[in-house]
A and B are shown apart, each in its own frame.
Chain A
Amino acid sequence: MYSLRRSIFQFFVGLLALALCVNFVLVYRSTWSHTRAQVERQLHAGWQVFGNELDARRKAQTAMAVLITQDFGLRSEIATFSDQANVESLRVVLDNFRQRSSADLALATDAGGKVLAATDRHFATGSLFSLPSPARSESQQDMLLVREGRLYHVFVTPIYAPAPNLVGWFVLGFAQNDETTRHLSDLTGLQVSLVQKQGRQLQVLASSLGDSERRVLQGMDWPGRPAGNAVLSDDQLYYAAPLQGQDGSLEVVLQRSLSEAMQGYRPLFWQLALMAGVTLALTVLGAFFIAGSVSRPLSELARYVRQVGSGDYATAPPPPARGEVQELFAEFDTMRQAIAERESQIAYAAYHDPLTGLPNRLRFQQLLQEQIATSPEQVAAVLVLGLNHFKDINDTLGHHSGDMVLRQVAARLMAQQRPLDRVARFSGDAFVILLNGVERHEVLALSLHYKQILDEPFLIESIAMTVNAAMGIGLYPEHAESPATLLQRAEIAMYVAKEKRLPCALYSHQQNRYSLLRLSLMSELRGAIDRNELVLHYQPKLDIREKRVSGVECLVRWQHPVHGLIFPDDFIPLAEQTGNIRYLTAWAIRTALTQCARWRQQGMELMMAVNISSVDLQDPTLIGNVTEALAASGIPAESLWLEVTESAVMHDIDKAVELLGGLRKLGVRLAIDDYGTGYSSMAQLKRLPVQEMKIDKSFVMGLTHSEDDAIIVRSTIELGHNMGLSLVAEGVESEEIFQLLARYGCDIAQGYWIARPLAVDAFEHWWRQRAERRIPQEGI
């Protein structure tokens, strides 16, 4: 905005300054050339005055000289001049006439021009003048003469006794000195110098100039005679004219300083300068005001727009300006309002969940931040409420139903929230609640209050549905002081609760140990399958009676590019929580069967056992996946064992029975894994279409030193056999255990004493070694 003002300002002032400068230059130039012409005229006039002066003197002195020459005494002296004795007498006579005519020199010669006597001793001898010829002897002459560096205007007059009897010449001389030139200078207003040319230099004989100027004139490289023109040199305008006498080397030089001549214009220049100054000042003021009146509203507008730009939409527009700018203001204000409106919409969208209308996670974080900032001393609790198996609702009933569940959950939470608490949607199937102003001991009760809200079934499209949830609790300031961390930790607690199937879990720092890794693994697992980061290891299952490897159990490993080899315990529970376990299981079945088929081609007849999760038991697609995998590999269904943990089965026994029944129909064999940890009853087990029971390794490993474990193992074997099941002992870590199991009648042994889970190459190597020895006891 300053640049506009400056532009206007600079334009006006610059233009005027330029005009004034040009004006001044023009005036000065014309004044100067006028002055020069004037001085030149003055020089010409001066030359005429000089000529007139000479003429006047000539007239006066001619008459005087003629008169003198007719003086009888003079004639007598000259006519009778005979010897040296008369010189003094004649000199006195001459001096008398010199004084009478105010001359500086008087002398007389004989008829031949030889000097008889002179008033000045410089002229006393010799023949000085080129005399007029006899034919012109009657005329009297005047000339300029230099003698000893002094200039004289001399009048040479013949003396007759009587005419035409020439007896001699009378000479009257007038010195042309500085005084004479000063007189001329006063008369003409010019500097007058009488000079004698000596080559290109000038010898100043007389001058009205001061010493320094005289030296300048003397030092000048005098060009040829300027033909009636003035010559300018260093501010001085010169005019030179020849004088008669002395073979034309004498000149009169008239000069004048131009700057001195310009002095007369000085008041004019002052007036011009004053006028220019006043005009410029007025213009500066005018330009300043005009520029200001244009630019001020604009800079106000700019300031206003900047304010709007920095996000201050609430500011009222500045006082309306005039003219076009006012319209601009109005437009800007309309724009401001539109922006403000849109921004509030955007802000709402940014801070709210469109589905439920609840604040979103970001907004919640802000609220939490505000809460902490306003009362940092107060305890606050963050509850993360994660719906269990929400994915299943989406998958089975469709996203629309899922959205309805979420909306209803949100509606209930909002309806029943305590006045000071804040509810927000945390993520896809999680909500978060901020409990304000609570004591630590109240937190659990309040958490349960919120959890109870979900106990009532939800009515979704005429279907009553129970939604289960896990709740994680994080406390400020106990667990974290920053909102983000607190939220993260509450979330971790929620996952812990899910994992442990608890209604709610309070965060503890132990939970956090792997939580960050887990969280990241959770999101990476799907990708890991695609990127072939997962591999299967195979652990042999040994037929105790036949001393033969009857099959292998495949166990998944995650070769993580950053974290290295990750064991299943660290990511299977996560995969179960996120539902990714389905993909993992499908992949494991496919891969294991493919490998099995490859081994069979190499003559390795092996049964393949694959673990399935409790989540898989809920998965209606599992049966289809298994069928496809069997078909693809060409492995008969009887060679595939699917192992499911006791606890997974017990989680939803009805569903498990149903699904396992479906699998069994395919011909696939089924095994109960980790038997002894799930507190299942025999009645329940009986319902399951399983062919094998795997005793949990915790019992097997304690076999040699715990009587209890031995009893449990032995009775389990007996029980299983009674139910027609094949018994597998896991955790066989020594020969001693192996022998015991053999004695108890266990069918199959599995454990480190036989072989740890091995990658494909390692397993094949182990297989070949074992085939060479044929002695299972020496397998290690």
Chain B
Amino acid sequence: MDGRFAGFCLAMMVLPVMAGELSVTVTTADGKPLPDAVVWVSPGAAPLSPAPSVMDQLDKRFKPFVLPVQTGTQVDFPNSDSINHHVYSFSPAKRFELKLFPGSHNAHTVTFDKPGLVTLGCNIHDWMLAYILVLPTSSFGKTNAQGELKLSVPDGVVKEVSIWHPQLASAPEPLMQKVSGVNMQIRLDKPLKPDPRRRPRGYD
């Protein structure tokens, strides 16, 4: 966890966790389920040889919006649109730029070898925004539309649970949590920032 990463608001706690699979539900301060939230524990399970991930360009958007990966993961940047894209990142965790032409599948990959948050943009389409969260562990998960995720926790270790979401306030905040066996409830007690995603402009 470096400074930049911390800037994106991680809520941390220490708690004894049984080895096995942990179910986490994340809700906003007003109790709604929060999708696209990333939760991980540390120390987590040792990194595995990571499987490649994909950050697609589709309909002038990045897909997915939030992509958590394990350090060293190679992410493929296909272009599913029929137009050009110019993907870039000036984030310290990974700086790169890719000029993606239509139908260039598997042609461009980037390996994210440092943990941290990488903000993606398109030089041609200013509204396009995506985050790749590079984590030093394999024990992480991303909430689905119901705010639920499952993650595997190594055995018998005191764990630190972290959460990240683009709309979280930057200051650390105590989380309301409820642990019941292998289930964990995280409820944010501050309202979320506005959704940074903007609607595409121009041709749809």
Contacts and interface: CB of A to CB of B under 8 A. Distances in A.
Given A70-B126, A72-B123, A80-B95, A163 B90 contact: no
- Of the four ranges (under 10, 10 to 19, 20 to 34, 35 or more), the interface on chain A belongs to 10 to 19
B90 A75 contact: yes
Contact of A164 (B86, B122, B128, B196): B196
B198 A76 contact: no
B95 A162 contact: no
A329 B196 CA distance: 118
Contacts of A165: 119, 121
A340 interface: no
B88 A163 contact: no
B90 A161 contact: yes
Contacts of B198: 163
A161 B121 contact: yes
A76 B88 CA distance: 9
A160 B90 CA distance: 10
A167 to B, nearest CB: 6
A4 B83 CA distance: 110
Nearest to A167: B90
A27 B14 CA distance: 93
Contact of B126 (A79, A80, A163, A167): A163
Interface string B1-33: 000000000000000000000000000000000
A72 B99 CA distance: 13
Interface string A63-95: 000000010100110011000000000000000
B134 interface: no
Nearest to B91: A165
B119 A161 contact: yes
Q: Which of B88, B122, B127 has the largest count of A CB atoms less than 10 A from its CB?
A: B88
B86 to A, nearest CB: 8
B194 to A, nearest CB: 9
Contacts of B168: none
Contacts of B121: 161-162, 165
A162 B122 CA distance: 8
Nearest to B129: A162
A70 B127 CA distance: 11
Q: Which of B90, B122, B129, B196 has the largest count of A CB atoms less than 10 A from its CB?
A: B90
Contacts of B127: 162-163
A75 B121 CA distance: 11
A260 to B, nearest CB: 53
Interface string B108-141: 0000000000010111001111000000000000
Contact of A80 (B86, B90, B119, B196): B90
A163 B196 contact: yes
Contacts of A75: 90
Contacts of A79: 90, 95
Contacts of A70: 126
Nearest to A164: B196
Interface string B167-202: 000000000000000000000000000001010000
Contacts of B88: 72, 76, 161
Interface in A385-415: none
A76 B90 contact: yes
A137 to B, nearest CB: 11
A711 to B, nearest CB: 193
Interface string A157-181: 0001111110100000000000000
A75 B123 CA distance: 10
Interface in B30-64: none
B77 to A, nearest CB: 16
A164 B196 CA distance: 6
A160 B198 CA distance: 13
Contacts of B86: 72
B47 to A, nearest CB: 27
A81 to B, nearest CB: 10
Interface in A117-167: 160-165, 167
A72 B129 CA distance: 15
Contacts of A167: 90
Contacts of A161: 88, 90, 119, 121
A72 to B, nearest CB: 5
Nearest to A79: B90
Contact of B128 (A72, A80, A160, A162): A162
Contacts of A162: 119, 121-122, 126-129
A72 B86 CA distance: 10
Nearest to A66: B126
Contacts of A72: 86, 88, 123
A167 B127 CA distance: 16
Contacts of A160: 126
Contacts of B123: 72
Contacts of B119: 161-162, 165
Nearest to B122: A162
Q: Which of A160, A161, A162, A163 has the largest count of B CB atoms less than 10 A from its CB?
A: A162
Nearest to B117: A165
A125 to B, nearest CB: 24
B90 to A, nearest CB: 3
Contacts of A80: 90, 95
Nearest to B119: A165
Contacts of B126: 70, 160, 162-163
Nearest to A75: B90
Contacts of A163: 126-127, 129, 196, 198
A163 B90 CA distance: 12
A648 B126 CA distance: 177
A108 to B, nearest CB: 14
A70 B88 CA distance: 13
23 contacts: A70-B126, A72-B123, A75-B90, A76-B90, A79-B95, A80-B90, A80-B95, A160-B126, A161-B88, A161-B90, A161-B119, A161-B121, A162-B119, A162-B122, A162-B126, A162-B127, A162-B128, A162-B129, A163-B126, A163-B129, A163-B198, A164-B196, A167-B90
Interface of B: 86, 88, 90, 95, 119, 121-123, 126-129, 196, 198
Interface of A: 70, 72, 75-76, 79-80, 160-165, 167
User: Which 4 A-B residue pairs are closest in the complex by CB-CB distance?
Assistant: A79-B90, A162-B121, A165-B119, A164-B196
Given A70-B126, A160-B126, 9 more contacts: A76-B88, A76-B90, A79-B90, A162-B126, A162-B127, A163-B127, A163-B196, A164-B196, A165-B119
